[in-house]
Amino acid sequence: MNYQEILAKYADKPGGMIEAFHAIQEELNYLPEEVIIEAAKVFNKPTAQAYGVATFYSMFSTAKRGKYVIRICESAPCHVAGAAEVVAALEKELGVKMGESTADGLFSLEFTECVGQCQATPVITINGEPYLDVAPAQISGIIAAYK
C-alpha cells in the first residue's frame, strides 16, 4: 500500500493520525516530509500540528532510517547490566555510531528507554522484536540473521 492509501484508511478514525503514522512506518521505516504534509490535509489539521505529532514521539522518525531499526535500552536496569558494552559491540559490528545508519541502508542504531523486558537485561529490539540477556559476544550472530 502507498502512503496515500494508508492515510485514506485512517481518515475517518477520530484521532487516527498516530495510528496512520505507525502503519506508514511499517512500510517506509520513517515519515518523509510529503507524508506529514498529506496527513495534515487528510486529518484536516494545520501542517505544524502534523509535524508536531511526528516529532513528539520517539518511535517516529522524520529522517530516513535503515530497514532494520536496532534499539538499545539504556534505562537504569539495563545500564547496570552492561548496556554500554552491547552498544560498543553493535557500533563495532556495524561500523556506525549510535544515531546513525549503515551505508547499505540495512541497519540503524538508536537508544531507547525501557522496553518492558526487564526480567532479562540488557535488552535490544530489532524492528520491535526483543532480544533478551544480550551479551556483546552474541551481537555478530544476531546481526548475521538480518543480512
Partner 1 sequence: MAEEMRIVLRNYGKIDPLKIDDYIAVGGYNALNKARSMKPADLINEVKSSNLRGRGGAGFNCGVKWNFAYMAQADQKYVICNADEGEPGTYKDRLIMEGDPQSLLEGMAICAHAIGATQGFIYCRGEYPSVVKTLNMAIAQATEKGVLGDFSIEVRMGAGAYVCGEETALIESIEGKRGEPRIKPPFPPVVGLWGKPTIVNNVETFANIPAIVEKGAAWYAGIGTPSYPGTKIVTLTGDVVNKTFFEVPTDTTIREVIFDFGGGIPDGKGFKAVQIGGTSGAFIPAANLDTPIGFDAMTEIGAVLGSGAVFVLNDTRDIVDVTARIAKFFAHESCGKCAPCREGTMRMHDLMDKINSGRGKSADVVLLNKLGRVMSYSCLCGLGQAAPAPVMTTIEHFPADYNAKLV
Beta bridge partners of 126: 70, 129
Best CA proximity match to 108, nearest among 74, 144, 66: 66
- Quote the CA–CA distance of 55 and 12 in Å, as a whole number: 23
31 versus 110: smaller Cβ distance to ligand FES: 110
57 scored as a contact of partner 1 (CB under 8 A):
yes
126 scored as a contact of partner 1 (CB under 8 A):
no
The beta strands (E) that lie in the chain are given as: 68-73, 107-112, 124-126, 129-131
Restricting to residues 20-79, which ones interact with ligand FES according to CB under 6 A?
Answer: 73, 75, 77-78
- Quote the CA–CA distance of 49 and 144 in Å, as a whole number: 40
Single residue of 8, 37, 63, 80 touching partner 1 by CB under 8 A: 80
Backbone angles phi, psi at 125, to 5 degrees: -125, 145
118 versus 142: smaller Cβ distance to ligand FES: 118
Region from 48-56, 62-70, 93-101, 135-143 binding partner 1, contact rule CB under 8 A: 48-56
What's the one-letter identity of residue 82? G
Q: Which residue has the cell 494508508?
A: 6
Region from 36-44, 55-63, 93-101, 117-125 binding ligand FES, contact rule CB under 6 A: 117-125
Restricting to residues 17-46, which ones interact with partner 1 according to CB under 8 A?
Answer: 17-19, 21-22, 43
7 scored as a contact of partner 1 (CB under 8 A):
no
Binding site for ligand FES (CB under 6 A): 73, 75, 77-78, 114-118, 121, 123
